Amino acid sequence: MKFDKPAGDNPIDQLKVVGRPHDRIDGPMKTTGTATYAYEWHDKASNVAYGYVVGAAIAKGRITSMDLQAAQSAPGVLAVVTAKNAGSLGKGEKNTATLLGGPEVEHYHQAVALVVAETFEQARAAAQLVDVQYRRERGSWDLAAEKPGVTEAPEDQPDTHVGDFNQAFSSAALKLDASYTTPDQSHMAMEPHASMAVWEGEKLTVWTSNQMINWCRTDLAKTLKLPEENVRVISPYIGGGFGGKLFLRSDAVLAALGARAAKRPVKVMLPRPVIPNNTTHRPATIQHIRIGTDQSGHITAIAHESWSGNLPGGTPETAVQQTELLYAGANRFTGLRLAKLDLPEGNAMRAPGEAPGLMALEIAIDEMAEKAGIDPVAFRILNDTQVDPANPDRPFSRRQLVECLRTGAERFGWDRRNATPAQVKEGRWLVGMGMAAGFRNNMVMTSGARVHLDANGIVTVETDMTDIGTGSYTIIAQTAAEMAGVPLEKVVVRLGDSSFPVSAGSGGQWGANSSTAGVYAACVKLREAIANKLGFDPNTATFADEQVRDGERSARLADAAADGTLTAEDSIEFGDLEKQYQQSTFAGHFVEVGVDRATGEVRVRRMLAVCAAGRILNPKTARSQVIGAMTMGLGGALMEELAVDKRLGYFVNHDLAGYEVPVHADVPEQEVIFLDDTDPVSSPMKAKGVGELGLCGVSAAIVNAVYNATGVRVRDYPVTLDKLLASLPDVV
């Protein structure tokens, strides 16, 4: 199905099942432990062996020797795989670093060997016996030190210019010129990266934890130099990913290589302390923002530059993209700068680009509002735009930012905020309120599905879409139920298998909208087949209450499959509507904090998110996504930071003991409001993504609240108490 014009009325608009707050249909399996994760496929292969990864002990250099004899002679060992004996390997298109290193070492904890043994404990013990000698080389591991020498934009990420920023900024009545930093961050998903590989001749099946089945399959085939049709990837349940499992990772490659070497099925799980350095992370940024306004506070000039680092061949953190679209202003400049660093690969983490970009921009906007003497909410409303600032002929398909801000301000009690910092005291606590705008572009991706109707009236959906804890099973079932006119209990959803039609996968906030649109397309074809089978006109037949009706005539839905299961398959293919309309999602984030006057401890007390993200397919699962994102934003504001050893080039706090994330005691009252919003330009579902929008802007809202509470402006994340103590108001 081609989607190349705005959606009209369609069966989804009935909202009998879609748009309702249904419980997750996979919930009982998750809570009873019967949902099978990547390391738990105990009944799919017999005689399974276990692999343990040997990670590089240096960050840059070369392996000079590797003695495997002791490891190979250890109890239970079946094979030791290295780059030297693994055979000729390719490299996936989406991998920056080589997943099995050697003899060159590109980053710390790059996999350089896999020990396969009868038991996990034997493999782990033998891995300690692999004697690797290195020649360490000097590397670049400090973004701040590299920044002065990096002045040009990457070749494929040119600067953007609108109007004459330099002239407009120099003549602006009010100006802000400030720099902000965000640190390296780790995904820290609950489920580690894990895979099980089984060979049958030249055919390979990998059960793994991966967000994008087709990307994983194609890059695994390319890495192993196999025909794609010889590779099957299965990933029905994923214990969190946050972007860290978007791409093929070393666990899947090494499980396949280990299974081939041992001639046995092999499981590989990356230990928690290996994941931050071995896989990917969100790169640190240094961001320079300049804003100029006239005396009334209208933005006349805005510029945003961001520096980040990556391995050779890597991409920058696109932290300036929201600044191109969020606020009005005739004169604009944005630019990305990419430094070569020898740290582990930097890549997508939840809301890549906008999450760190808004961490800086939305502090800068607050600072500019203060300079202009305008309330922060009012300043943002004053500078709203309903069109792409770089192309005024291109309107937003839907833009409800102003309504998000006004609704949030009213609901949160913003009018009770004292605009003068450090004035509100409750015992030992300084109390403040802060807010920020949220923004995330709406992206869509070709997405397919196959649907079946059997003689019992059961509708089964098959697609390689994944569920990373987001509720994909449920919204896909809701879509099929709405289209077929059956209750949710009569829909079976099968996900995460590369033998199913290719779907969008879980990432970029495109998964829910795109995958359900793909199911919609397949269901349109199924409805046509059912109508034709029962002798109805497909264009006028209606489907409801397990019946098909047209005029006075009706028939049981199941009767269409009395002679055999009916099957239909289709994909949604998006046209070029994005050229005509800018498609984005918006939010208003509001936060109240308390800061201990003596210690600088920050406690977030209340959080509110007001979101405009098209039709909300399931308010219950969407709310869950947003409050999870808000919690992640709290972590980014106050505690999350990968500490870089700038002498040896690795992330020091590479486990949950040292890398702090929010716990229950840190999470306050959270409220989420979804504005009534449908966007027919987005898809037949008229929906958009919301799971990443809930993160975008949260950290800045917290930092702005800390400033309101204390009068201390922190521009370097995370806001740890050492950055507050020296400047806090006197206790006495």
State the average pLDDT over residues 163-188.
98
For 43-77, write each residue's pLDDT tens digit. 999 999 999 999 999 999 999 999 999 999 999 99
Residues 6+ apart with CB under 8 A from 659: 186, 188, 276, 640, 641, 642, 653
If 0-12 CB within 10 Å is exposed, 13-18 middle and 19+ buried, where does residue 630 land?
buried
Between CA 483 and CA 504 the distance in angstroms is 20
Under 8 Å between Cβ of 327 and 380: yes
Tokens standing for 389? 């600032």
User: What DSSP letter does each residue of 560-599 carry, written as one string?
Assistant: GGTTS-EEEEEEEEE-SHHHHSB-EEEEEEEEEEEEETTT
Q: 665's torsion region: left (phi>0), alpha (psi -120 to 50) or beta?
A: alpha
Question: What's the farthest any 2 CA atoms get from each other in the chain?
Answer: 85
Is the preceding peptide bond at 273 cis, omega within 30 degrees of 0?
Answer: no
Candidate list 317, 354, 592, 692, residue with the active-site label: 692
Q: What is the DSSP letter of 273?
A: G
Q: ∠368-371-374 over CA atoms, to 5°?
A: 85
3-state secondary structure of 720: coil
Task: Name residues whose C-beta falls within 8 Å of residue 67's C-beta, 6 or more positions apart in sequence.
Answer: 130, 131, 132
Looking at the chain, the number of H-run helices and the number of E-run strands are 16, 32
Comparing CA positions, the residue from 224, 226, 236 lying closest to residue 499 is 236
- Helix segments in 438-572, DSSP class H: 472-484, 511-534
Measure the CA–CA gap between 211 and 240, rounded to whole angstroms: 9
Per-residue pLDDT tens digits for 512-543: 999 999 999 999 999 999 999 999 999 999 99
pLDDT of residue 370 exceeding 90, the answer is yes
732 pLDDT higher than 80: no
Query: 731 pLDDT band (50/70/90 cuts)?
Result: low
Average pLDDT for 467-486: 98
Among 50, 56, 114, 103, which Cα is nearest to 254's? Answer: 114
The top-level CATH class assigned to 49-138+190-240+245-278 is alpha beta
Per the listing, tokens 């590779």 go with 231
Query: For residue range 194-236, what is the model confidence (pLDDT) as tens digits?
Result: 999 999 999 999 999 999 999 999 999 999 999 999 999 999 9
Residues in the chain: 732
Residues 104 and 108: their CA atoms lie apart, in Å, by 12
Nearest CA to 58 out of 343, 279, 294, 331 is that of: 343
Task: For CA atoms 144, 147, 153, 159, give the dihedral sign.
Answer: positive
Domain ranges of the chain: 2-35+444-577, 49-138+190-240+245-278, 285-442+583-727
Give the model's pLDDT for residue 123. Answer: 98
Write the pLDDT tens digit of every residue in 410-450: 999 999 999 999 999 999 999 999 999 999 999 999 999 99
pLDDT above 90: residue 347: yes
| Burial classification of residue 606, based on how many CB atoms lie within 10 Å of its CB (0-12 exposed, 13-18 middle, 19 or more buried) | middle
Cβ-contact 399, 381 below 8 angstroms: no
pLDDT tens column, 577-600: 999 999 999 999 999 999 999 999
Answer yes or no: same fold for 49-138+190-240+245-278 and 285-442+583-727: yes
Instruction: Give the domain 285-442+583-727 fold.
Output: Aldehyde Oxidoreductase; domain 4 (3.30.365)
CB of 287 closer than 8 Å to CB of 147: no
Contact 505, 511 (CB under 8 A): yes
692 is catalytic: yes
> Residues 63, 102: contact at Cβ < 8 Å?
yes
Tens digits of residue pLDDT in 18-44: 999 999 999 999 999 999 999 999 999
User: What CATH number has the domain spanning 2-35+444-577?
Assistant: 3.30.365.10
Q: Give every CB contact of residue 321 below 8 A, 6+ residues apart in sequence.
A: 334, 353, 354, 357, 441
- Is the pLDDT at 546 greater than 60? The verdict is yes
DSSP structural state of residue 420: S
For 480-508, how does the pLDDT look when each residue is reduced to its tens digit (9 = 90+)?
A: 999 999 999 999 999 999 999 999 999 99
**Mean pLDDT, all residues of the chain:** 97
Query: What is the per-residue DSSP string for 278-317?
Result: HS-BBPPEEEEEEEEE-TT--EEEEEEEEEEEESTT----
Question: How many angstroms separate the CA atoms of 137 and 658, rounded?
Answer: 27
